[in-house]
């Protein structure tokens, strides 16, 4: 393994002061009273970057009513005003889930896996869209996981417990694994968070040693793909930087939830950020670096096709989806 340190590694390697808070998985939030989100068709989009192909694969989208709790540190009226200024609805937020496939050097590398069989009716479409893009689950060589929230890992196993990507090596951040698989932390966790800990065990506890690989921050996880520590959203939340022919694509996972709120206002904390202060800091650092290097960006909760560019906008950044 290469030992190149990420630009964030040194700053963020320090242990986190993890503040336990209430935790409600985003994928549990559906709001039938506001209707259901419209999913794009087809639910995949290809892009070429140098020698690699990047395919965004929609797993689906969940609509949640917008309440005081969604942004932890801003008044609801300000949150609604920011949405309205972008022509977006103010009573609810649509949160999409978009894993990314990178095809590089004949290898198929999937980043995050969506909700699988564990979400609402407008989710769980990853496999359908993967097949529509011409790829079978058995063709996936590597699965890279950004963090262990259910919307990112539940697609790894069926309800019956079978591995969805039978030939894939599943690579996870060591810091994330060590946090969630720690029995003492499970025992000490508030009741509202125990489900998230147990869900991690359902997915990873019996995963064959030959399948599961833990990696340290800053290492190369596949040819041309480097892991970048971005701790805060979760204790081991990790980004993936893909380089080809002098160009860079940064898959930022949950560096922000929906960018219309949390890229435009990077200091706002979504309810799911476990360490809001660390998340805020790394969000600004990474977005600034993406803008100044004109890198491509992909975000798991970004609007379809979930990849494009970032531009400076006001106090923060605006996501510009690829046309």
**Between 61 and 244, CB nearer to Zn ion:** 61
Instruction: Assign residue 273 a region (left: φ > 0; alpha: ψ between -120 and 50; beta: otherwise).
Output: beta
Count of beta carbons in the 10 Å neighbourhood of residue 152: 26
**Between 129 and 256, CB nearer to Zn ion:** 256
**Between 99 and 218, CB nearer to Zn ion:** 99
Q: Which stretch binds Zn ion (CB under 5 A): 68-76, 141-149, 241-249, 261-269?
A: 141-149
Beta strands 225-229 and 316-321, pairing class: unpaired
Q: Which stretch binds Zn ion (CB under 5 A): 84-92, 101-109, 146-154, 218-226?
A: 146-154
Site string for Zn ion, 251-290 (x = CB under 5 A): ---x------------------------------------
Residue 168 Cα distances to 68, 211, 212, 214, angstroms: 41, 7, 9, 14
What is the C-alpha to C-alpha distance for residues 44 and 20, in angstroms, rounded to an integer? 36
Using DSSP's 3-state secondary structure scheme, residue 79 falls into helix
**Between 254 and 275, CB nearer to Zn ion:** 254
Whose CA is closest to 240, among 58, 8, 1?
A: 8
Number of residues that bind Zn ion (CB under 5 A): 3
CB of 146 to Zn ion, least distance (A): 8
CB of 80 to Zn ion, least distance (A): 22
Task: State which of residues 151, 176, 241, 273 lies at the interface with Zn ion (CB under 5 A).
Answer: 151
Using DSSP's 3-state secondary structure scheme, residue 58 falls into coil
**Residue 112 binds to Zn ion (criterion: CB under 5 A):** no
Q: Which two tokens stand for residue 250?
A: 């940064």
DSSP 5-19: PPTTHHHH-SPP---
CB of 95 to Zn ion, least distance (A): 8
Q: Which stretch binds Zn ion (CB under 5 A): 58-66, 87-95, 132-140, 148-156?
A: 148-156
Q: Which stretch binds Zn ion (CB under 5 A): 15-23, 59-67, 147-155, 157-165?
A: 147-155
Using DSSP's 3-state secondary structure scheme, residue 273 falls into coil
By CB under 5 A, name the binding residues for Zn ion: 149, 151, 254
């Amino acid at each position: 393994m290469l030992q190149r340190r990420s630009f964030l590694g040194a700053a963020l390697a320090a242990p986190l002061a993890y503040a336990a808070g209430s935790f409600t998985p985003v994928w549990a939030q559906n709001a039938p009273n506001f209707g259901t989100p419209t999913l794009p068709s087809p639910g995949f989009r290809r892009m070429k970057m140098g020698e690699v192909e990047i395919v965004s694969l929609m797993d689906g989208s969940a609509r949640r009513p917008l309440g005081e709790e969604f942004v932890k540190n801003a008044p609801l009226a300000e949150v609604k005003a920011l949405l309205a200024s972008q022509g977006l609805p103010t009573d609810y937020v649509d949160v999409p889930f978009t894993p990314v496939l990178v095809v590089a050097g004949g290898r198929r590398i999937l980043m995050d896996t969506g909700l699988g069989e564990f979400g609402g009716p407008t989710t769980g479409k990853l496999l359908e869209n993967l097949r529509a893009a011409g790829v079978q689950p058995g063709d996936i060589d590597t699965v890279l996981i950004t963090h262990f929230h259910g919307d990112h890992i539940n697609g790894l196993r069926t309800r019956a417990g079978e591995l969805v990507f039978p030939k894939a090596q599943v690579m996870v951040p060591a810091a994330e694994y060590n946090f969630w698989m720690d029995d003492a932390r499970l025992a000490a966790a508030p009741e509202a968070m125990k489900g998230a800990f147990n869900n991690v065990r359902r997915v990873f506890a019996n995963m064959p040693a030959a399948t599961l690989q833990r990696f340290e921050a800053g290492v190369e996880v596949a040819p041309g793909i480097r892991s970048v520590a971005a701790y805060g959203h979760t204790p081991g939340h990790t980004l993936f930087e893909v380089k080809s022919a002098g160009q860079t694509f940064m898959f930022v996972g949950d560096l922000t939830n929906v960018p219309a709120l949390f890229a435009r206002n990077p200091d706002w904390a979504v309810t799911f950020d476990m360490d809001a202060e660390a998340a805020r800091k790394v969000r600004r650092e990474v977005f600034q670096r993406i803008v100044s290097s004109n890198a491509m960006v992909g975000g798991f909760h970004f609007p379809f096709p979930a990849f494009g560019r970032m531009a400076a906008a006001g106090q923060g950044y605006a996501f510009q989806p690829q046309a």
